[in-house]
């Protein structure tokens, strides 16, 4: 099975950080988010992968190349004008159209067996299978409803004829399996979205669209809070990520769990942790505190400064006695 990773978006909710670094390159335990997605796919036998790119594409393409270093065969679909999820799919049609294929968002991390999802898809003879979760915040999203047999009976504003009386409200995880027939429903060279323009029409026509309920770990890292939370979850062992070994210095003020990059300098009386991730080359000066925060590479936290619940972009310095709380800081 081939796969497509949707990575062309602007990451607007993570500005100003995404102004200089595309979200798929955001470090997660000091490795790009997209690298963790590739690890998930390759570990389950999916090696032929295409990634659509638009915002700061060269930073992604130059890092990953043809995928050889990451155990996959990688191609990129560059969108000069952003095409949306459906438009991006259509542009990659020649790569995907020969067989059933997987599509997933680039900002999702999940503990998921994709082969089980594929088996469900085949068993149901589905043309589209969405991986869904119980909706903990039903007012946040437009309604998606799942019948007991796995049929999606309602997607946003569209529903099947004569829906069953009993359904459950679910949310879409951004992971899906599709049949190539979907390409006939998408116009070439124009902006369109799968959730907005394609899926509702398929539901309304009564096509076999199914949802498989995912109950294990999943997170969408589209905000500062969830980006920090995902790494805290990984540090706690709730999410298994393939990451470089972290060398934890000894000291009374290192408060686990933490992940510390190479060549970091941490003063003996600086507090690092809990839930701190330091990129390579960070310097934490005397009396400083870094807690529940992600520091990218070469960040300096000055003497007696405090960083909590925040993301600090590469090469930035926090002034001595400064306080950074509940924010994201990026280079100008």
Each residue's pLDDT tens digit in the chain (332 positions)? Answer: 999 999 999 999 999 999 999 999 999 999 999 999 999 999 999 999 999 999 999 999 999 999 999 999 999 999 999 999 999 999 999 999 999 999 999 999 999 999 999 999 999 999 999 999 987 776 676 678 899 999 999 887 666 766 676 788 899 999 999 999 999 999 988 899 998 889 999 999 999 999 999 999 999 999 999 999 999 999 999 999 988 878 787 776 999 999 999 999 999 999 999 999 999 999 999 999 999 999 999 999 999 999 999 999 999 999 999 999 999 999 76
User: 175: burial class by Cβ within 10 Å (0-12, 13-18, 19+)?
Assistant: buried
Predicted local distance difference test score (pLDDT) of residue 95: 98
Residue 178's H or E segment, with its range, is: strand 167-178
Distance CA 28, CA 313 (A): 13
- Residue 249's pLDDT is 77
Give the predicted TM-score (pTM) of the model: 0.93
Query: What is the SS3 assignment for 52?
Result: strand
Contacts with 69 (C-beta within 8 Å, 6 or more apart), sequence order: none
Q: Hey, what domains does the chain have and what are their CATH numbers?
A: 2-225+230-234 (3.90.550.10), 244-329 (2.160.10.10)
Spatial contact of 168 and 145, defined as CB atoms under 8 Å apart: yes
State pLDDT tens for residues 138-149: 667 667 889 999
- Residue-wise pLDDT tens digits, 234-287: 999 999 998 887 878 777 699 999 999 999 999 999 999 999 999 999 999 999
Q: Torsion over CA of 112, 118, 123 and 128, rounded to 10 degrees? A: 100
| H helical segments located in 1-154 | 33-43, 57-64, 84-91, 93-96, 114-123
Question: So what's the pLDDT on residue 157?
Answer: 61
**Would you state the pLDDT for residue 161?**
67
Note whether 195 and 156 are within 8 A (CB).
yes
Q: CB–CB of 185/198 below 8 Å?
A: yes
Query: Residue 155: its pLDDT value, please?
Result: 82
Q: What is the DSSP string of 101-126?
A: EEEEETTEEE---HHHHHHHHHHTT-
Pairing mode of beta strands 31-32, 27-28: antiparallel
Query: Apex CA 278: angle with CA 274 and CA 281, to 5°?
Result: 150
Which residue has tokens 């951004």? 174
Which stretch of DSSP H or E encloses residue 324? strand 323-325
pLDDT value at position 165?
67
Cα gap 53→59, rounded to integer Å: 10
Q: How far, in Å, CA of 256 to CA of 63, rounded?
A: 31
């Amino acid at each position: 099975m081939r796969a497509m990773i949707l990575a062309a978006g602007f990451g607007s909710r993570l500005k100003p950080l995404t102004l200089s670094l595309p979200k798929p390159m955001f470090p997660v335990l000091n490795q790009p988010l997209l690298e963790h997605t590739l690890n998930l796919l390759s570990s389950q036998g999916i090696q032929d992968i295409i990634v659509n790119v638009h915002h700061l594409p060269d930073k992604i393409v130059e890092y990953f190349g043809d995928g050889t270093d990451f155990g996959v065969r990688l191609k990129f679909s560059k969108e000069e004008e952003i095409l949306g999820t459906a438009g991006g799919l259509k542009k990659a049609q020649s790569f995907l159209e020969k067989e059933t294929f997987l599509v997933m968002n680039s900002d999702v991390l999940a503990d998921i067996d994709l082969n089980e999802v594929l088996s469900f898809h085949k068993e149901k003879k589905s043309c589209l299978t969405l991986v869904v979760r119980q909706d903990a915040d039903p007012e946040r999203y437009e309604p998606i409803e799942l019948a007991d047999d796995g049929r999606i009976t309602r997607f946003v504003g569209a529903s099947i004829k004569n829906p069953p009386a009993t359904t459950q409200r679910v949310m879409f995880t951004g992971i899906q399996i599709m049949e190539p027939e979907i390409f006939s429903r998408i116009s070439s060279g124009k902006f369109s979205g799968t959730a907005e323009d394609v899926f509702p029409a398929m539901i309304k026509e009564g096509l076999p669209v199914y949802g498989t309920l995912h109950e294990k770990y999943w997170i969408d890292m589209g905000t500062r809070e969830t980006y920090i939370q995902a790494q805290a979850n990984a540090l706690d062992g709730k999410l298994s990520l393939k990451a470089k070994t972290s060398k934890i210095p000894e000291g009374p003020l290192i408060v686990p769990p933490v992940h510390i990059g190479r060549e970091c300098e941490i003063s003996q009386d600086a507090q690092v942790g809990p839930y701190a991730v330091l990129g390579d080359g960070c310097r934490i000066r005397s009396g400083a505190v870094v807690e529940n925060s992600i520091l990218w590479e070469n960040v300096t936290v000055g003497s007696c400064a405090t960083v909590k619940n925040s993301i600090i972009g590469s090469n930035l310095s926090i002034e001595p006695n400064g306080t950074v709380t509940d924010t994201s800081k990026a280079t100008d």
